[in-house]
């Protein structure tokens, strides 16, 4: 639990800002959010999963956010919401606002010729801005970031330390890019000639929409010819690889270690769980949910949940199943022969 001092609000003030029905003493003062187990005086906790209901009776939180089904399981002051997890997210943001910035350009930063930096922006130590960059109002560029020539960054976007953005890429408003992310590196474009690889120049850009979040050490390659596009509201976890010319639709979310190969187009409101892999040149429809560890090798045209991963087994059982897999073709052929023999033996 964070020890950082933040603003304090009454429960009634929080309910007014995050929504939901207030039950009980709205004057109780809230300083922090915490889990049911670790909460204490001044803490607001929540129940968004039924398996934690049993902890309601022992929590020392002074107030709660709960769903309708949990509302009668506690006598503590509470906010009742049809979506308690979203309600908690809003409360946590209220109690833990972004650190305020000090506008200005650090003396050790390097600013290229023709760059335009808004007066309200903050450029950190040893950051490098290339020629003709456009930095909008309230942008924060952390220590050691590199922003290439002709990059534009929209208002209220924040780059944490050591982010790299290659030339000509465009970043929208209110974007968050975490440390180590690389936006606009060359895609894996190669042609083979007599056993030797020839590099294909990657001349597209990366276009990032508004309200996108990009996790630490995630990489988004620039397009080979057309642009790589990340639409508004997309959320990318840490250590994700997005290849050249990929297009990700608005409000899609991807968990850590996902890989998306080149020229794949992913729809809006999709979710891709951790370590899923999507091969290139596919079309994924809107509102598709791809399960953890799934390998997607064909386009998906209908919304829904898609899974290809095999659940964990004891090693001995896995070996037995793997041995049987080697005989699937043989078994299928035997079944086919038996069916044909059975069909021939039936009276006409």
> pLDDT tens digits, the chain, 348 residues: what are they?
444 557 899 999 999 999 999 999 999 999 999 999 999 999 999 998 888 889 999 999 999 999 998 989 999 999 999 999 999 999 999 999 988 889 999 999 999 999 999 999 999 999 999 999 999 999 999 999 999 999 999 999 999 999 999 999 999 999 999 999 999 999 999 999 999 999 999 999 999 999 999 999 999 999 999 999 999 999 999 999 999 999 999 999 999 999 999 999 999 999 999 999 999 999 999 999 999 999 999 999 999 999 998 888 899 998 998 888 888 888 888 998 888 888 876 665
CB 207 within 8 A of CB 234: no
- Catalytic pick from 106, 167, 244, 315? 244
Residue 123's DSSP bridge partners are: 105, 141
Residue 337 three-state SS: helix
DSSP for residue 338: H
Of 33, 157, 50, whose CA–CA distance to 95 is shortest?
Answer: 33
- Tell me whether residue 167 is one of the annotated catalytic residues: no
Of 60, 36, 38, whose CA–CA distance to 50 is shortest?
Answer: 36
CA angle 46, 51, 55 (to 5 degrees): 55
Q: What pTM value is reported for the model? A: 0.89
Of 86, 39, 83, whose CA–CA distance to 64 is shortest?
Answer: 39
Domains in the chain with CATH codes: 9-95 (3.40.1390.10), 163-306 (2.160.10.10)
Residue 126: CB atoms within 10 Å: 17
Q: Which residues contact 153 (CB under 8 A, 6 or more apart)?
A: 133, 134, 135, 136, 139, 141, 147, 159, 165, 171, 175
Q: What is the pLDDT of residue 341?
A: 83
The strands making up 164-165's β-sheet, listed across from edge to edge, are 110-111, 128-129, 146-147, 164-165, 182-185, 219-221, 241-242, 259-260, 277-278, 295-296
> Residue 192: in which H helix or E strand, if any?
strand 190-193
Q: What is the pLDDT of residue 345?
A: 67
Q: Which residues of 250-268 are buried (b: 16+ CB within 10 A; e: fewer)?
A: bbbbbbbbbbbbbbbbbbb
Q: What is the pLDDT of residue 1?
A: 44
216 vs 218: CA distance, rounded Å: 5
Alpha helices in the chain (DSSP H): 11-18, 84-95, 315-325, 328-345
CA angle 89, 93, 94 (to 5 degrees): 115
């Amino acid at each position: 639990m964070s020890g950082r001092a933040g603003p304090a609000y009454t429960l009634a003030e929080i309910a007014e800002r995050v929504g939901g029905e207030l039950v009980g003493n709205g004057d109780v003062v809230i300083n922090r959010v915490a889990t049911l187990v670790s909460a204490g005086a001044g803490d607001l906790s929540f129940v968004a999963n039924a398996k934690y209901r049993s902890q309601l009776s022992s929590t020392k939180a002074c107030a709660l956010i709960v769903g309708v089904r949990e509302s009668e399981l506690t006598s503590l002051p509470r906010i009742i919401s049809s979506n308690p997890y979203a309600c908690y997210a809003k409360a946590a943001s209220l109690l833990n606002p972004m650190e305020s910035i000090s506008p200005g350009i650090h003396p050790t930063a390097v600013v290229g010729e023709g760059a335009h930096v808004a007066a309200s922006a903050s450029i950190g130590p040893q950051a490098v801005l290339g020629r003709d960059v456009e930095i909008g109002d309230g942008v924060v560029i952390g220590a050691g970031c590199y922003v290439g020539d002709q990059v534009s960054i929209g208002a209220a976007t924040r780059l944490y330390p050591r982010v790299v953005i290659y030339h000509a890429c465009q970043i929208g408003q209110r974007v968050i890019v975490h440390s180590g992310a690389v936006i606009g590196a060359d895609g894996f474009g190669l042609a083979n000639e007599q056993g030797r690889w020839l590099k294909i120049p990657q001349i597209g850009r990366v276009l990032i929409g508004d309200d996108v979040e990009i996790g630490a050490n995630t990489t988004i390659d620039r397009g080979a010819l057309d642009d790589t596009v990340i639409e508004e509201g997309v959320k990318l976890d840490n250590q994700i690889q997005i290849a050249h010319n990929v297009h990700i639709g608005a409000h899609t979310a991807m968990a850590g270690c996902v890989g998306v190969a080149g020229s794949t187009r992913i729809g809006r409101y999709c979710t891709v769980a951790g370590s899923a892999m999507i091969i290139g040149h596919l079309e994924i429809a809107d509102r598709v949910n791809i399960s953890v560890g799934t390998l997607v090798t064909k386009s998906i045209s209908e919304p829904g949940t898609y899974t290809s991963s095999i659940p964990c087994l004891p090693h001995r059982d896995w070996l037995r199943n793997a041995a049987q897999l080697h005989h699937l073709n043989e078994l299928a052929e035997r079944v086919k022969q038996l069916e044909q023999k059975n069909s021939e033996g039936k009276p006409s």
